[in-house]
Structure 1
Amino acid sequence: MRRFALATLSAALVPLALSLAGCASDAPPPPCPPAGTPAPLDSFTQFAPGGGRDLTEVRFSGRISSVQTICEYDEKGVDIDLAVDIRVERGPADKSRQADLQYFVAVEDGPGNITAKQVFDVAVPFEGNSRRLARREELSLRIPTPADRGFRQTRVLVGFQLSPEQLEFNRRQRP
């Protein structure tokens, strides 16, 4: 699992600790800040070099299929454990049998106000005759309590880190 603190944005691997702490009161704990993937950043397509953009030129494609969260609040902020499910498929132009991709986790505090972002590199090797793979990325992050309004407007965004060409391709594919 990857762990990073949004105050320092340093990443380090740590064991997954998905546990729920008991509450002293009968009140239910507040819900986790919402987490999701912006529509044009939920998928990627990597084409072979050379400019062709038809199906025979696809090396890899993929999609973020789900983002799940578990969180625990304290007086200084919230700890969030994320599970990001990614599906990757080999295309006819692949020769390397390994998809190298990037995804990001960002914190938004109000519409369009990104307060922190970190990009992660992922290598997805394809062994044997595998054409499709599912992979789960597990991360932990700490978000300090915003000073003026709490977590009312806080959202966690997860998406693929795309090149301008990949982003334009995704936008053209949407109805």
Structure 2
Amino acid sequence: MGRLTNWSVSRLLSMPSLAVVTLFGLAGCGIIEPEKAPPACPEIIVLKEAQEMTRFQGNGRDLTDVTFEASINNFVGGCKLDEETGRLHNQVVVRFELNQGPASDGGAQFNYFVAVATQDRKILSRESFSLVAPFEGNRTSVAIVDNIYPSITLGRGDTGEDYIIFIGFELSRSELYYNRTKL
């Protein structure tokens, strides 16, 4: 193919419809292959009632009885489809923020869950994770990031958009009640 001169480039640019038609035509014939689109990933939802946790010492519910407060304040996810097995491998990165309370013993231990569900909220799998956060020195707050890798075997014709990943703290009855009174 010959070299394009300034005249031929400017002439080509003055005929945009011809250039666009030619490029689309080449792409349609497979001469220019577009990159394969990434798979659709499941929606990630942090359950509102389980997004925060306030842990009290004993049966008291006064501010002085708080050992720590925690929240899920950020998350990000991605996925990759294994076309041979039909499994959608997800990665979810969850960020927790914890604040030490007056009744703290110097650390915080808590559990959270990740559940995979269908769009109609039928739970397919659920897994619990345990984390420990030390409040070292005179620190009264700490952030923790955790990576989790739920995978989903896709049904025939399904995509990641047909599923939801739920995240939340595992709460006791009294912690759940406390959260509901704050909403």
TM-score, normalising length from structure 1? 0.79
- What is the CA-CA distance between 1:150 and the residue it aligns to? 4.0
8 Å CA contact retained: 1:43, 1:64: yes
8 Å CA contact retained: 1:103, 1:159: yes
**What's the counterpart of residue 167 of structure 2?**
158
More strand by share: 1
Greater C-alpha radius of gyration: 2
- What is the CA-CA distance between 1:27 and the residue it aligns to? 4.5
Q: Which amino acid in structure 2 is aligned with residue 140 of structure 1?
A: Y
**What's the counterpart of residue 77 of structure 1?**
87
Quick one: distance in 2 between partners of 1:151 and 1:74?
12
Deviations 1:151-170 (A, max 9, x none): 44300011101111111110
Quick one: distance in 1 between partners of 2:51 and 2:80?
26
Q: Which amino acid in structure 2 is aligned with residue 59 of structure 1?
A: T
Alignment of 1:129-144 (within 5 A): 129-144=138-153
TM-score, normalising length from structure 2? 0.76
Match of 2:150, SS? Answer: strand
Q: Which amino acid in structure 2 is aligned with residue 77 of structure 1?
A: R
8 Å CA contact retained: 1:99, 1:124: yes
Q: Which amino acid in structure 1 is aligned with residue 89 of structure 2?
A: D
The reply to whether residue 65 of structure 1 matches residue 112 of structure 2 is: no
- What is the CA-CA distance between 1:67 and the residue it aligns to? 1.5
Quick one: distance in 2 between partners of 1:47 and 1:38?
21
Quick one: distance in 2 between partners of 1:129 and 1:171?
32
- What is the CA-CA distance between 1:31 and the residue it aligns to? 2.8
Q: Report the count of equivalent residues.
A: 149
- What is the CA-CA distance between 1:146 and the residue it aligns to? 2.5
Deviations 1:106-136 (A, max 9, x none): 0011233111000011111110001000010
8 Å CA contact retained: 2:64, 2:102: yes
5+ unaligned residues in a row in structure 2: which ranges? Answer: 1-32
Match of 1:143, SS? Answer: strand
More helix by share: 2
Using the aligned pairs only, state the percent identity: 29
5+ unaligned residues in a row in structure 1: which ranges? Answer: 1-23
8 Å CA contact retained: 1:98, 1:123: yes
Which has the larger displacement, 25-34 or 122-131?
25-34
Greater relative contact order structure (CA < 8 Å, 6+ sep): 1
Quick one: distance in 1 between partners of 2:120 and 2:69?
29
Quick one: distance in 1 between partners of 2:76 and 2:38?
17
Q: Which of 104, 117, 120 is 1:111 aligned to? A: 120
Match of 2:64, SS? Answer: helix
**What's the counterpart of residue 19 of structure 1?**
none
- What is the CA-CA distance between 1:68 and the residue it aligns to? 0.6
Deviations 1:65-91 (A, max 9, x none): 112112111221211111000001100
- What is the CA-CA distance between 1:32 and the residue it aligns to? 1.4
Quick one: distance in 2 between partners of 1:146 and 1:58?
46
Quick one: distance in 1 between partners of 2:76 and 2:159?
22
